[in-house]
Amino acid sequence: MPIYTPPLRDMRFVMHELLKVVDDFKQIPQHADMDVDTINAVLEEGGKFAAEVTFPLNISGDTEGCKLDQVTHEVTTPAGFKAAYAKFIEGGWAALACDPAFGGQGLPLVVNQMFYEMLNSANQAWTMYPGLTHGAYAALHTHGTEEQKQTYLHKMTSGEWTGSMCLTEPHCGTDLGLMRTKAEPQADGTYKITGNKIFISAGEHDMTDNIIHLVLARLPDAPVGIKGVSLFIVPKFLVNKDGSLGARNGVYCGGLEHKMGIHGNATAQIVLDGAVGTMVGQPNKGMNGMFVMMNAARLGVGNQSLGLTEVAYQNALAYAKDRIQMRSLSGVKAKDQPADPIIVHPDVRKMLLTAKAYAEGGRALSTYCSMLLEKEHNHPDEKVRKDSGEMLAMLTPIVKAFITDNGWTATSACQQVFGGHGYIKEWGMEQFVRDARINMIYEGTNTIQSLDLLGRKILGNNGATLRKFGKLVGKLVEEEGVNEKMAEFITPIAILGDQMTKFTTEIGFKGFQNPDEVGAAAVDYLRVAGHLVFGYFWARMAQVALREIAAGNTDTFYLAKLQTARFYFAKLFPETTMLMRTARAGTKVLMDTDAALG
């Protein structure tokens, strides 16, 4: 059976030593009184919930899966899921970072982020039920009318009702402009929604009394394409004026997808048969509200792979210390054993350190982005809000794509550490790999994220935001450029930072002449940018560790951080050289291939 221990020590390091989040909170009125002890206490309890309540259900939930009653269209979740969710609500976890005006606890987003990382490590499939609700909550909180907020947000905040986002249709995924679902206006101001949606995570289940679907659909006179899409609230059960549940709405589950992973989450085929809906926002402006959900979901998906990377690493490390096979190439290490533990072998250590470096780098980036989101929404200074939002927009596709790509690499490496046992279900490793694979696909494939980063977020403003991030790198280089102990961390990011300007300009110029050049380079470009961002945070983490060691701190945590930073820069960061070369290879070797692909 797999194990899981919440990584509270590293979380505290990232929040309080690396990013000093409490200092930022002092500038945000609603969090000005937030202190280190409160944050730590909440996360300690959250870790207990993840490890003790949801983690034990991970393998059993994967084995059992969800079941659909074809007659009633009701879905039953795996044994224990509903009871765990009841404890989740009872503990107030659903309301952690929600608006107190709707019954929320109003804690900082970073606390919620780290709590959800632990939930994702423990049981990604279960976590998706409450996780999807956050995006729906955010969309309604931002774009809903006061009546809509009062009707839905109190119950969504408490967790009594969950939410879903209904975008994809059988014939269209990312290209939502091809959508066919129709919305017919009614005399009472509502709409009759008719159509079919697929791949709807947590689209139907038995864990709550109501599910609030946010659905994209077209009005009869809507313009063609993405500019003709509107957003609607379509509850499973209609809600009466007094807040009680009314009639069953015309929205139901027509089937469940048979999937590679996340079996414990109901990935539903949703049928809308004249379902009653109310519009969110303005006609034909539905993507405004949906992007609130999608951006929240993209950060959340990165967090899913972060969680899986952490739990896979913990299990692989424990196994590598215990499993004995052969002798060390440099001589016997375990003289009292017939063979040495496999952790003595260099390549096993490489696999373990890859997962560790990607987990801890991802945690630093995700936490930083949570703080940017907090500042964008709540900082009193308009310029800080604007700058934070701009930086977050650039980093969001990196969080989604780079962390999930790394999660696939890391979980696969950790499975490899187990050898043949990694392929066997009872050890849990093959489930982590299967679950991690979806994260590279949904909420916009990683290719879509790469196109978004290069085409819109960087070339779209002539690299202005990238230059702002470059200034952060430059500031660190200036601080530590003469520190010999930091040279192995500073020199690589200084060189890459300089190279990025020329690299970006070159790709942009070629893309201006032939847009396919952007498509050919985008995936490689995102990984280069991802390493620049990870490199920056790893250099900062090494900086903190070196200062603590120099001050006489004997906690081995700092030595471990330093060693992991050295591994990252020596073994993972150099991938950027290859990626820049392949990105520059251009379109000809891809597009002039009709014979090869004929």
In contact, 203 and 213? CB cutoff 8 Å: yes
DSSP-derived pairing of the beta strands 267-280 and 230-235? antiparallel
**Residue 478 known to be catalytic:** no
Only one residue has tokens 């009701």, namely 74
Query: How many residues does this entry show for the chain?
Result: 598
For residue 501, which amino acid is it?
A: T
In contact, 410 and 312? CB cutoff 8 Å: yes
Given the residues 117, 310, 443, 548, the one annotated as active site: 443
Q: CA-to-CA distance for 45 and 239, rounded, in angstroms? A: 34
In contact, 175 and 169? CB cutoff 8 Å: no
Of the candidates 350, 421, 402, 416, the residue with the CA atom closest to the CA atom of residue 531 = 402
H/E element, 453: none
Q: Which token pair is 9?
A: 């020590």
Per-residue DSSP letter, 457: I
DSSP-derived pairing of the beta strands 245-248 and 237-239? antiparallel
Beta bridge partners of 267: 201
In contact, 348 and 391? CB cutoff 8 Å: no
Q: CA-to-CA distance for 187 and 246, rounded, in angstroms? A: 20
Q: CA-to-CA distance for 402 and 408, rounded, in angstroms? A: 10
**Helix, coil or strand: residue 253:** strand
Strands annotated E in 249-323: 251-256, 267-280
DSSP-derived pairing of the beta strands 210-217 and 161-166? parallel
Q: CA-to-CA distance for 202 and 77, rounded, in angstroms? A: 10
In contact, 381 and 414? CB cutoff 8 Å: no
H/E element, 195: strand 191-201
Residue 218: CB atoms within 10 A of its CB come to 20
Query: What is the set of active-site residues?
Result: 443
